[in-house]
Protein backbone atom coordinates (compact mmCIF):
# COMPACT_ATOMS: atom_id res chain seq x y z
CA UNK A 1 0.00 0.00 0.00
CA UNK A 2 1.30 3.47 -0.85
CA UNK A 3 2.46 5.46 2.15
CA UNK A 4 0.09 8.27 3.03
CA UNK A 5 1.65 11.70 2.67
CA UNK A 6 1.58 13.72 5.86
CA UNK A 7 1.57 17.17 4.39
CA UNK A 8 1.93 18.85 7.81
CA UNK A 9 5.43 17.47 8.15
CA UNK A 10 6.60 18.71 4.76
CA UNK A 11 8.72 21.70 3.93
CA UNK A 12 6.43 23.71 1.65
CA UNK A 13 8.00 25.55 -1.30
CA UNK A 14 7.31 29.27 -1.07
CA UNK A 15 6.95 29.74 -4.82
CA UNK A 16 5.64 27.11 -7.24
CA UNK A 17 5.64 27.71 -11.01
CA UNK A 18 3.54 25.49 -13.26
CA UNK A 19 3.70 24.75 -16.98
CA UNK A 20 0.12 23.59 -17.47
CA UNK A 21 0.46 21.28 -20.46
CA UNK A 22 -1.63 18.55 -22.05
CA UNK A 23 -5.03 20.20 -22.54
CA UNK A 24 -5.12 19.27 -26.21
CA UNK A 25 -4.19 15.62 -25.61
CA UNK A 26 -6.74 15.37 -22.81
CA UNK A 27 -9.46 16.52 -25.23
CA UNK A 28 -8.22 14.27 -28.04
CA UNK A 29 -8.45 11.20 -25.80
CA UNK A 30 -12.12 12.06 -25.28
CA UNK A 31 -12.73 12.83 -28.97
CA UNK A 32 -13.44 16.44 -28.00
CA UNK A 33 -12.14 19.63 -29.65
CA UNK A 34 -8.89 21.02 -28.18
CA UNK A 35 -10.86 23.96 -26.84
CA UNK A 36 -12.75 21.62 -24.49
CA UNK A 37 -9.40 20.71 -22.96
CA UNK A 38 -8.62 24.38 -22.39
CA UNK A 39 -11.99 24.97 -20.73
CA UNK A 40 -11.36 22.10 -18.32
CA UNK A 41 -7.75 23.26 -17.84
CA UNK A 42 -8.97 26.70 -16.81
CA UNK A 43 -11.27 25.19 -14.17
CA UNK A 44 -8.37 23.14 -12.82
CA UNK A 45 -6.14 26.24 -12.64
CA UNK A 46 -8.72 28.02 -10.47
CA UNK A 47 -9.01 25.03 -8.16
CA UNK A 48 -5.23 24.68 -7.86
CA UNK A 49 -5.05 28.26 -6.59
CA UNK A 50 -7.19 27.30 -3.59
CA UNK A 51 -5.29 24.03 -3.11
CA UNK A 52 -1.88 25.75 -3.24
CA UNK A 53 -2.93 28.23 -0.56
CA UNK A 54 -4.34 25.37 1.56
CA UNK A 55 -0.96 23.67 1.43
CA UNK A 56 0.82 26.85 2.51
CA UNK A 57 2.25 27.91 -0.86
CA UNK A 58 2.57 31.71 -0.93
CA UNK A 59 3.35 32.30 -4.62
CA UNK A 60 1.84 30.42 -7.54
CA UNK A 61 2.82 31.30 -11.10
CA UNK A 62 1.17 29.62 -14.06
CA UNK A 63 2.00 29.60 -17.76
CA UNK A 64 -1.25 30.34 -19.56
CA UNK A 65 -0.13 31.55 -23.00
CA UNK A 66 3.38 31.72 -24.44
CA UNK A 67 4.84 34.11 -27.01
CA UNK A 68 4.98 31.04 -29.26
CA UNK A 69 1.33 30.04 -28.78
CA UNK A 70 0.21 32.63 -31.39
CA UNK A 71 1.27 30.01 -33.96
CA UNK A 72 -1.87 28.00 -33.16
CA UNK A 73 -5.10 28.25 -35.18
CA UNK A 74 -7.07 31.46 -34.99
CA UNK A 75 -9.92 29.55 -33.41
CA UNK A 76 -7.77 28.13 -30.61
CA UNK A 77 -6.00 31.42 -29.89
CA UNK A 78 -9.36 33.23 -29.86
CA UNK A 79 -10.81 30.72 -27.43
CA UNK A 80 -7.79 30.95 -25.10
CA UNK A 81 -8.03 34.75 -25.12
CA UNK A 82 -11.74 34.53 -24.33
CA UNK A 83 -11.06 32.22 -21.39
CA UNK A 84 -8.56 34.75 -20.06
CA UNK A 85 -11.05 37.59 -20.64
CA UNK A 86 -13.67 35.71 -18.66
CA UNK A 87 -11.23 34.94 -15.85
CA UNK A 88 -10.16 38.58 -15.42
CA UNK A 89 -13.78 39.56 -14.82
CA UNK A 90 -15.24 36.53 -13.07
CA UNK A 91 -12.40 36.21 -10.56
CA UNK A 92 -12.74 39.75 -9.19
CA UNK A 93 -15.22 38.68 -6.55
CA UNK A 94 -13.47 35.42 -5.70
CA UNK A 95 -10.07 37.10 -5.30
CA UNK A 96 -11.60 39.68 -2.97
CA UNK A 97 -13.17 36.91 -0.90
CA UNK A 98 -10.02 34.75 -0.83
CA UNK A 99 -7.58 37.66 -0.43
CA UNK A 100 -5.68 36.66 -3.63
CA UNK A 101 -3.31 39.13 -5.28
CA UNK A 102 -3.19 38.70 -9.05
CA UNK A 103 -0.34 39.78 -11.30
CA UNK A 104 0.06 39.20 -15.03
CA UNK A 105 3.52 38.83 -16.57
CA UNK A 106 4.40 38.84 -20.25
CA UNK A 107 4.15 41.45 -22.98
CA UNK A 108 0.66 42.79 -22.36
CA UNK A 109 0.97 45.44 -25.08
CA UNK A 110 0.25 42.78 -27.73
CA UNK A 111 -3.08 41.78 -26.14
CA UNK A 112 -6.48 43.18 -27.16
CA UNK A 113 -7.23 46.55 -25.56
CA UNK A 114 -10.22 45.27 -23.55
CA UNK A 115 -8.17 42.39 -22.14
CA UNK A 116 -5.36 44.78 -21.17
CA UNK A 117 -7.93 46.91 -19.39
CA UNK A 118 -9.47 44.06 -17.43
CA UNK A 119 -5.99 42.80 -16.48
CA UNK A 120 -5.04 46.26 -15.19
CA UNK A 121 -8.33 46.42 -13.29
CA UNK A 122 -7.86 43.02 -11.63
CA UNK A 123 -4.24 43.83 -10.72
CA UNK A 124 -5.31 47.15 -9.24
CA UNK A 125 -8.30 45.77 -7.31
CA UNK A 126 -6.26 42.96 -5.76
CA UNK A 127 -3.01 44.82 -5.08
CA UNK A 128 -3.60 45.21 -1.34
CA UNK A 129 -4.53 41.54 -0.87
CA UNK A 130 -2.20 39.63 1.41
CA UNK A 131 -3.12 36.02 0.60
CA UNK A 132 -1.86 33.95 -2.33
CA UNK A 133 0.30 35.80 -4.86
CA UNK A 134 -1.15 34.42 -8.06
CA UNK A 135 0.75 35.28 -11.23
CA UNK A 136 -0.50 34.44 -14.71
CA UNK A 137 1.93 34.43 -17.64
CA UNK A 138 0.14 35.67 -20.76
CA UNK A 139 2.00 36.32 -24.02
CA UNK A 140 4.99 35.44 -21.90
CA UNK A 141 8.33 34.23 -23.25
CA UNK A 142 11.46 34.19 -21.13
CA UNK A 143 13.68 35.40 -23.96
CA UNK A 144 11.23 38.16 -24.79
CA UNK A 145 11.14 39.17 -21.11
CA UNK A 146 14.94 39.35 -21.02
CA UNK A 147 15.09 41.44 -24.20
CA UNK A 148 12.46 43.83 -22.83
CA UNK A 149 14.42 44.05 -19.57
CA UNK A 150 17.65 44.82 -21.45
CA UNK A 151 15.92 47.62 -23.34
CA UNK A 152 14.64 49.19 -20.10
CA UNK A 153 18.07 48.85 -18.55
CA UNK A 154 19.85 50.31 -21.60
CA UNK A 155 17.51 53.32 -21.56
CA UNK A 156 18.48 54.01 -17.93
CA UNK A 157 22.17 53.77 -18.77
CA UNK A 158 21.68 56.08 -21.74
CA UNK A 159 19.87 58.64 -19.56
CA UNK A 160 22.68 58.50 -17.01
CA UNK A 161 20.38 57.03 -14.32
CA UNK A 162 22.30 53.77 -14.06
CA UNK A 163 26.06 53.20 -14.04
CA UNK A 164 27.35 50.18 -15.93
CA UNK A 165 29.38 49.24 -12.87
CA UNK A 166 26.19 49.08 -10.82
CA UNK A 167 24.62 46.41 -13.02
CA UNK A 168 24.57 43.19 -11.06
CA UNK A 169 22.13 40.27 -10.80
CA UNK A 170 19.79 42.12 -8.44
CA UNK A 171 19.79 45.21 -10.62
CA UNK A 172 19.05 43.14 -13.73
CA UNK A 173 16.32 41.21 -11.93
CA UNK A 174 14.59 44.49 -11.06
CA UNK A 175 13.84 45.02 -14.77
CA UNK A 176 12.13 41.66 -15.23
CA UNK A 177 8.34 41.26 -15.16
CA UNK A 178 8.75 39.09 -12.07
CA UNK A 179 10.73 41.69 -10.10
CA UNK A 180 8.30 41.58 -7.16
CA UNK A 181 8.41 37.79 -6.86
CA UNK A 182 10.94 35.48 -5.22
CA UNK A 183 12.51 32.93 -7.57
CA UNK A 184 10.47 29.71 -7.91
CA UNK A 185 11.51 26.91 -5.57
CA UNK A 186 9.67 24.29 -7.56
CA UNK A 187 8.76 24.14 -11.24
CA UNK A 188 6.10 21.61 -12.26
CA UNK A 189 5.36 20.51 -15.82
CA UNK A 190 2.47 18.22 -16.64
CA UNK A 191 1.89 15.96 -19.68
CA UNK A 192 5.24 14.21 -19.80
CA UNK A 193 7.22 16.81 -21.77
CA UNK A 194 10.69 17.33 -20.33
CA UNK A 195 11.39 20.89 -21.39
CA UNK A 196 10.87 24.40 -20.10
CA UNK A 197 9.41 25.95 -23.31
CA UNK A 198 10.71 29.46 -22.60
CA UNK A 199 9.17 29.69 -19.11
CA UNK A 200 11.08 31.82 -16.59
CA UNK A 201 14.60 30.89 -17.82
CA UNK A 202 16.36 33.41 -15.56
CA UNK A 203 14.19 32.72 -12.53
CA UNK A 204 14.36 28.90 -12.52
CA UNK A 205 18.17 28.73 -12.48
CA UNK A 206 18.07 27.02 -9.06
CA UNK A 207 14.51 25.66 -9.00
CA UNK A 208 13.76 22.00 -8.49
CA UNK A 209 11.91 20.42 -11.44
CA UNK A 210 9.00 18.03 -11.12
CA UNK A 211 7.69 16.35 -14.26
CA UNK A 212 4.54 14.24 -14.34
CA UNK A 213 2.73 12.39 -17.13
CA UNK A 214 -0.61 13.57 -15.76
CA UNK A 215 -2.35 15.84 -18.27
CA UNK A 216 -3.17 19.30 -16.91
CA UNK A 217 -6.99 18.85 -16.92
CA UNK A 218 -6.49 15.78 -14.68
CA UNK A 219 -4.16 17.56 -12.25
CA UNK A 220 -5.52 17.98 -8.73
CA UNK A 221 -4.57 18.60 -5.11
CA UNK A 222 -3.24 15.04 -4.71
CA UNK A 223 -0.90 15.58 -7.66
CA UNK A 224 0.23 18.90 -6.20
CA UNK A 225 0.95 17.15 -2.91
CA UNK A 226 3.03 14.55 -4.76
CA UNK A 227 5.08 17.34 -6.33
CA UNK A 228 5.63 18.93 -2.91
CA UNK A 229 6.63 15.56 -1.51
CA UNK A 230 9.15 15.11 -4.33
CA UNK A 231 10.50 18.60 -3.58
CA UNK A 232 11.11 17.49 -0.01
CA UNK A 233 13.37 14.70 -1.19
CA UNK A 234 15.66 17.06 -3.03
CA UNK A 235 18.84 18.34 -1.48
CA UNK A 236 19.14 21.97 -2.53
CA UNK A 237 22.82 22.85 -2.42
CA UNK A 238 22.86 26.06 -4.51
CA UNK A 239 26.39 25.22 -5.60
CA UNK A 240 27.70 24.65 -2.09
CA UNK A 241 28.30 21.48 -0.09
CA UNK A 242 26.37 20.01 2.81
C1 LIG B 1 -1.42 23.61 -22.59
O2 LIG B 1 -2.00 22.57 -23.28
C3 LIG B 1 -2.19 24.90 -22.72
C4 LIG B 1 -1.55 25.92 -23.54
C5 LIG B 1 -0.39 25.84 -24.11
C6 LIG B 1 -2.29 27.15 -23.72
P7 LIG B 1 -1.72 22.30 -24.82
O8 LIG B 1 -2.76 23.02 -25.61
O9 LIG B 1 -0.33 22.62 -25.17
O10 LIG B 1 -2.00 20.75 -24.89
P11 LIG B 1 -1.18 19.67 -25.74
O12 LIG B 1 0.26 19.83 -25.37
O13 LIG B 1 -1.43 19.98 -27.17
O14 LIG B 1 -1.74 18.37 -25.31
C1 LIG C 1 3.98 25.62 -22.95
O2 LIG C 1 3.26 24.61 -23.54
C3 LIG C 1 3.15 26.87 -22.92
C4 LIG C 1 2.06 26.88 -21.97
C5 LIG C 1 1.77 25.92 -21.13
C6 LIG C 1 1.26 28.09 -21.96
P7 LIG C 1 3.35 24.32 -25.11
O8 LIG C 1 2.49 23.13 -25.34
O9 LIG C 1 3.03 25.54 -25.87
O10 LIG C 1 4.89 23.99 -25.31
P11 LIG C 1 5.62 23.08 -26.36
O12 LIG C 1 5.15 23.51 -27.72
O13 LIG C 1 5.23 21.66 -26.07
O14 LIG C 1 7.07 23.31 -26.13
MG1 LIG D 1 1.39 21.54 -25.14
Q: How many domains does the chain have?
A: 1
In a domain, 113, yes or no: yes
5-15 burial code (b ≥16 CB/10 A, e <16)? eeeeeeebbbb
pLDDT at 8: 80
Confidence of residue 175 (pLDDT cuts 50, 70, 90): very high
User: Does ligand 1 lie within 6 Å of residue 65's CB atom?
Assistant: yes
Count the Cβ atoms, other than its own, within 10 Å of residue 130. 8
In a domain, 110, yes or no: yes
Is 21 in the active site? Answer: yes
CB 123 within 8 A of CB 104: yes
Backbone angles phi, psi at 33, to 5 degrees: -65, 155
In a domain, 135, yes or no: yes
In a domain, 59, yes or no: yes
pLDDT at 46: 98
In a domain, 105, yes or no: yes
pLDDT at 74: 98
209: containing domain: 11-141+184-232
SS3 state of residue 195: coil
- The β-bridge partners of 103 are 135
In a domain, 39, yes or no: yes
Protein residue with least CA distance to atom 8, ligand 2: 21
Pocket test for ligand 1, best of 18, 19, 24, 136 (most atoms within 8 A of CB): 24
Task: Kindly list the protein residues whose Cβ atom lies closer than 6 A to any atom of ligand 2.
Answer: 19-21, 63-66, 69, 193, 195, 197
Confidence of residue 71 (pLDDT cuts 50, 70, 90): very high
Mean pLDDT of 16-37: 98
pLDDT at 1: 53
Residue 136 clears pLDDT 80, i.e. is over it: yes
Cα(170) to centroid(ligand 1), Å: 33
pLDDT at 7: 77
Q: Output the pTM of the full model.
A: 0.96
User: Does ligand 1 lie within 6 Å of residue 217's CB atom?
Assistant: no
pLDDT at 3: 60
Residue 236 clears pLDDT 70, i.e. is over it: yes
- Please identify which of the residues 69, 82, 173, 232 carries the catalytic annotation: 69
CATH number at residue 75: 3.40.1180.10
Lowest-confidence segment of 1-5, 89-93, 130-134, 203-207 by average pLDDT: 1-5
In a domain, 88, yes or no: yes
- The β-bridge partners of 104 are 136
pLDDT at 2: 57
Confidence of residue 118 (pLDDT cuts 50, 70, 90): very high
In a domain, 158, yes or no: no
**Atom number in ligand 2 closest to CA 195:** 14
Mean pLDDT of 94-122: 98
Amino acid sequence: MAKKINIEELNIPEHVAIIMDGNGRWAKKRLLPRTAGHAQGARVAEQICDDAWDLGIKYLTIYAFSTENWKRSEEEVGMLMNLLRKYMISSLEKCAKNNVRVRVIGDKTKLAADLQESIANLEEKTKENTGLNFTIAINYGGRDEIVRAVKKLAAKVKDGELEIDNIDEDAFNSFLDTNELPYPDLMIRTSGELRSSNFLPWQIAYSEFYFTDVLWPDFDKKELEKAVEYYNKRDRRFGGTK
